[in-house]
Amino acid sequence: MLGGVYALSAEPEDLRANVSAPGRERVSINLGWRFHFGEAPGAWQPAFDDDTWETVSIPHTWNAADSTTPKFKTRRRLVSPALRNASPRRGHRVYLDFRAVSLVATVWLNGRQLGTHDNGFAAFRFDATDALRATGDNTLVVLADSTWRDDLPPREGDFTLCGGIYRDASLLITPAVAIDPLDHAGPGVYLTTPEISTDSAQLRAAS
């Protein structure tokens, strides 16, 4: 396996300050992560001790120099205190938004596995609302595995395949009643032009 694990936590007050307006709000969780290179059994558990891990920020990769070094790094774990004590909001839903994690990402929040995403180049989201604790610490852990797989692109190339959370990460907060943001981490509203000519055009909206 070529990979690593990331974790994050934040104060409830910080989250409330970012949810003062109606509609969708985005809260960056790029700072304050912790990282471990190598095996870390049980790292997805909230009680796991990561005090000795390296502190990093997102975007992050562990193998940027692989193209110039003879030995490739094989596993990583990252943890951050930015989601600790991030309480759920009444009347809102909270989504974890990752712009990209290479190559396969497995995400846990408070020991609950939210899902796995198999694509190192596409954004994805998981609904974290029901896994958030109203009081106490919230611990987010991401395992990023960049092991080569013949069913995932890229299959070959003359470039380094960087592993890790190498694009921005954030919380997406929406009203409880909202257009679903989980479809490929898109806006949930799609416009098409089924008919178009020099004189007129037909615009169709779908969600």
Question: Mean of the pLDDT values across residues 26-36?
Answer: 86
CA pair distance 22, 86, nearest whole angstrom: 19
Q: Which DSSP string do the residues of 132-183 spell out, in sequence order?
A: --SSS---EEEEEE----TTSS-S--SS----B--S-EEEEEEESS-----S
40-69: per-residue pLDDT in tens? 888 888 888 888 888 888 998 887 766 444
Q: Is the distance from CB of 46 to CB of 136 less than 8 angstroms?
A: no
Q: Count Cβ atoms below 10 Å from residue 201 Cβ, excluding itself.
A: 10
Q: Count Cβ atoms below 10 Å from residue 73 Cβ, excluding itself.
A: 18
**Could you tell me which residues come within 8 angstroms of residue 191 by beta carbon, excluding any fewer than 6 positions away?**
203, 204, 205
Residue 177: pLDDT above 80?
A: yes
pLDDT given at position 181: 93
Percentage, residues of the chain above pLDDT 90: 27
CA triple 62-65-108, angle to 5 deg:
10
Q: Is the distance from CB of 44 to CB of 108 less than 8 angstroms?
A: yes
Q: Is the distance from CB of 36 to CB of 164 less than 8 angstroms?
A: no
Residue 97: pLDDT above 60?
A: yes
123-173: per-residue pLDDT in tens? 999 999 999 887 777 888 888 888 878 888 876 766 777 788 999 999 899
pTM value? Answer: 0.81
